[in-house]
Chain A
């Protein structure tokens, strides 16, 4: 997953009409585009469509991967100033990303701990055909590795497919795919989730109410994500969607396969973003050549998009310019790997209402947002959820993984500020998370249990 940082760019003043897919035509800004994410998102979409129902498409993953890998920083004439401002706002950005990641993880962990449905094994995705119920360890390992290979190859295929689509400008197709994906996610998965939660707490709800609730939720979600909507609502929907997707992954991926897949995905992410021939990188470069915003894939953006009708006149004057600028930024800036757009095409910030830019002043205090791909959200949550779902039910492990992931995210953002390019957001966090999970589970748990039984404190 790619993380982007929005840098304010004074050159981006003349952004006018923006649709969700096209970025504003701004004067030659050497910004890097995160096309990969878009493609990933697109791919995810395709996957989703194909696997209506049972399987969660690895597409999303692929998409997410693509999207994730590319975060490009914008190089601009005001590079030095930008750099300072960037690093100065660095802490704020990190927090802006901490909060949604934490929320997503909390939702996933809470669900796992309370709703039994998601820890029962009721079959597997068709992407992971090899079962893990084999008696011998070697066989199980082999099966999980094979599962991983299949999954990763599906993701790679989806990613490449998306890149190809993007290259040949099949925007409508991608867009339609994204819409269908998010539609399915919003309605079907939410329905299943609601059903399970109601079952757990033994609350009865009749069908008309369910239909009403789900319809409203889904409709508002679609509008929010693909069109315009209040920022917080959009972020909330994106978080919900990531959590749902992560829950699906947790349920349907067998134990060892899940861990191996997590490891493999972060390696793939690393390669796809940084290698010169990586699909994500190609996507970003293509988008950059065309001076378009990266495909509005599933990305979570924390930037503020101000609507046109601002209350105060002076802020209104700044708002539009900021907004347009932010929109441009959004497009270009971070693409944290949302590649796992599979499940969702969450465009955090696609809707940018077009409005004439009245003031061209450079806002001194622009709301720079950082973008993180939705795929990243999903995989972080999968890691923490799997840690919470272990039969021993140990909260220490969950907490340890949580802290590890947050630190990884911190480091990734730090690297982003230093390198100013699209960076994969998965590898560092997932590596830390995996290390901490396995070590806490095997080493710390017996230690702490013994300490607690004697009531000793260290």
Chain B
């Protein structure tokens, strides 16, 4: 689904593609830094202590979430500057792309990159001999991974919109809400062999975020109804 989002909405406009790739880049850098921290922490600690390792892992995940949001903020700053430049350059004095579109594209960029990183090794292994989960892991490994990835991609998209909107209108509580949601989703994955614990809350949160973002972008129930009715 994320790929189709990409094709239909982003591939047309070259500027959006650039923003997308740049968004992916920013996510990548944040991932890099967070894994650096984790790596240092692991090397400095005792590799045989299971509980400690797990604790470190959790710490790494949380830290990474915070870093991702920090980079989203940095990216927002960059895009603000870019918009001013674009406005100055364009002929009729208004930017060819609005900040909301940018928010959307940035969110998709983040989401695609995180989704790709989560899924692609899995997919590659899936092509090979069927040895995943042979040690008694859950049989639904692939399925849940796929769903989790999808929900994460969508979440990133919505978070992007919410985050940028919050930054634009200086509503700090929106930004805080995004960060908290992200932490909650990542945290819920800690229950992961118990899939109910992670997938269900994530989907609920995603639905909430979707509605919120939709309302923020100026939609309403009325618009939605008109759109659905007009199409058929």
Contact = CB atoms under 8 A, between A and B. Distances in A.
A451 B61 contact: yes
Contacts of B60: 447
A403 B122 contact: no
Given A91-B18, A94-B18, A403-B113, A395 B35 contact: no
Contact of B39 (A98, A395, A403, A446): A446
B157 interface: no
Contact-size category for A: 35 or more
Given A395-B120, A396-B120, A458 B61 contact: yes
B15 interface: yes
A403 B117 contact: no
Q: Is the interface of A mostly helix, strand, loop or mixed?
A: helix
Interface in B138-183: 141, 144-145, 148-149, 152
Contacts of B21: 98, 403, 406-407, 410
A389 to B, nearest CB: 14
A95 B16 CA distance: 10
B83 interface: no
Contacts, number: 106
B205 interface: no
A84 B145 CA distance: 47
A400 interface: yes
B91 A444 contact: no
Contacts of B57: 450-451, 454, 456
B35 A444 contact: yes
Given A403-B24, A456-B186, A91 B14 contact: yes
A54 interface: no
Interface of A: 84, 87-88, 91-92, 94-95, 98, 393-396, 399-400, 403-404, 406-407, 410, 436, 439-440, 442-444, 446-452, 454-458
26 contacts: A88-B91, A91-B15, A91-B18, A92-B14, A94-B14, A395-B120, A395-B121, A396-B117, A396-B120, A404-B28, A410-B22, A440-B32, A443-B32, A444-B32, A446-B42, A448-B121, A450-B57, A454-B57, A455-B141, A455-B189, A456-B57, A456-B189, A456-B192, A457-B152, A458-B31, A458-B68
Interface of B: 13-15, 17-18, 21-22, 24-25, 28, 31-32, 34-36, 38-39, 42, 57, 60-61, 64-65, 68, 89-91, 113-114, 116-118, 120-122, 124, 141, 144-145, 148-149, 152, 185-186, 189-190, 192-193
